[in-house]
Amino acid sequence: MTLPAQPPPDEGGRPSPSGTTRTGATPPAAHTGPLPWVKLRAASATSNLYKRMIGEVDPKARPGDLVAVYDKAGAPYGVALYNPKSLITLRLLTRELAGFDPEEFFAKRLARAVELRRALLKLDDVTDAYRVVYDLGDGLPGLVVDRYGDFIVLELYSLAMFRQAERLERLLAAHYPGAKFLRRASEHTESMEGFQIPAQGRTVTRVREHGVSFEVDLTGGHKTGFFCDQRDNRLAVSLLSGGRKVLDVCSYTGGFGLYAAKLGGAKTVTCVELDPESCKLIDKNARLNGVELETVCVDAFPYLRQMGANRQTYDLIVLDPYKMIASREGYQLGRQKYVDLNRLALSVMSEGGILVTASCSGMLSWDEFQACLRTAAGSARKRVEVFRKTGAGPDHPVAADHPEGEYLKALWCRVL
C-alpha cells in the first residue's frame, strides 16, 4: 500500500494539524501525569487511529512515545503508542488512562498472554514452539512474540514497541527463565516506522511439535523462522494421510509433509518449495525425523502444470502458499493466483482425493477465498465438497474489534 506524503511542517518545524501538532497547542483540561498528550478530531471503532483522526499533539510528544489520548471534547480516551511517521499514528493500548503505569500494564498483559498458552491451552505439553503474543489479539499492538525452545523472538511492527523491547524481554524472562532473546522486523516496517534492528549472527535451533522435530532458522527464515499458526492443521493432515500419496506445495520447511510421513503413515510424500535454503531444511528435517520424502526445488505453478501433462495424480494435496495479496493494488492479481494454483492442484487430484487449501492473505475474505475455489473447481471440471474450515491455532486469538486478525483460512475438501 502506498502511504500518503507527510503534510508540510508549520513555521515551528513540526508537522501541521492534519496528522500531528502545532506549536503552542493547548493541553486538554483533564490532562495530568507524565505522559505526553494527543487530542483526537475523530474516534475509531478499532484500536488503530490514523493520521486523519488526529487533532492536536503535545509539543513534547516524540515518535515512539506512549501518549495519553483524549477525544475531541477533551475527555480521557486511553493510552496509545504514538508515531506521526506511520499511517497508523496511534495504536491504542488501553482505554484506562487514570493511573496508567507502563511497567504494571505490560507486566499484566504479558502475564495474561502467557497464561492463555500455558494454563488454558497447555501448549507446553505438546510443543516448545508457539506464539506467546499475537499483536492486537493479546492487546499489544505492533508486537508478535514467538517461543522456540530456549529462544524468544520478538517481531516488532512499531517504533514504540521497539523502544519497549528491553522492558518486554525483562518481563518475559520472568515467565521463561534463561530464555535467549532475538529481535526481528521487516525492512518495510523499519522504513515505515523509523527504526533499525542491528544485524545479528545466524541463529538456528531445534523445536518439537507433537513428536515431530524441526530445525528453525530464527534470523534468516520467514517471519520469525517457523509457521506456528499451522500446528493444528498439520496434525489434522497427518490423520488423513495413511496410505496416501501426499503432495505438500509451498512446503517451506516441510511441515505438512513431515507430519504426513512420520505421524500419518503416508505412502509417499513430495514437498515442493522454491527457496533453495528452505529445501535444504526440508531434507535436514526429514533426516532428523528418520523419514523419507522427495524434495523438489521448483516454482509450484510450472511443477503442477508438468505433473498434469505427465498425468501424475495425488491422493492428498496441501496448498499453503506465501501471502499472494500483500496490498490493495495487488488484490486482483493475487486473487487470480489463488484461482490458478487451486485449479492446477485439482487437475492432479485422484478421484476421492483430499485437497487442503490455505490462504494467509488477510485481505482475502472467507467468502472470496471460497469463490476462488469455486472458480477453480469449475475450470478444472471437478466436483469439490468442503467438509471443514479451519484457521490459525488458538495461540493466535482474534480481538473482537480487529477481525482482520483472522488472516489464515484453510478449506478441507473432497474432490470427486
- SS3 state of residue 249: strand
Task: Transcribe 148-178 into DSSP letters.
Answer: ETTEEEEEE-SHHHHHTHHHHHHHHHTTSTT
297 is catalytic: no
Q: Which triple of cell numbers denotes residue 319? A: 496448498
Q: Which triple of cell numbers denotes residue 153? A: 523472538
Nearest Cα residue to 149 out of 214, 197, 219:
214
Residue pair 154/142 in contact (Cβ under 8 Å)? The answer is: no
Angle, alpha carbons 262-391-278 (nearest 5°): 50
Q: 273 forms bridges with which residues in the sheet?
A: 297
Burial of 180 (0-12, 13-18, 19+ CB in 10 A): middle
Residue 127 neighbours by CB distance under 10 Å: 21
Instruction: Classify strands 37-40 and 268-273 as parallel, antiparallel or unpaired.
Output: unpaired
Catalytic residue among 228, 250, 279, 360: 360
Q: Which residues contact 125 (CB under 8 A, 6 or more apart)?
A: none
Instruction: Classify strands 384-390 and 245-249 as parallel, antiparallel or unpaired.
Output: unpaired
| Angstrom distance (rounded) from CA 274 to CA 280 | 11
Residue pair 360/323 in contact (Cβ under 8 Å)? The answer is: yes
Q: 217 forms bridges with which residues in the sheet?
A: 204
Active site residues: 360
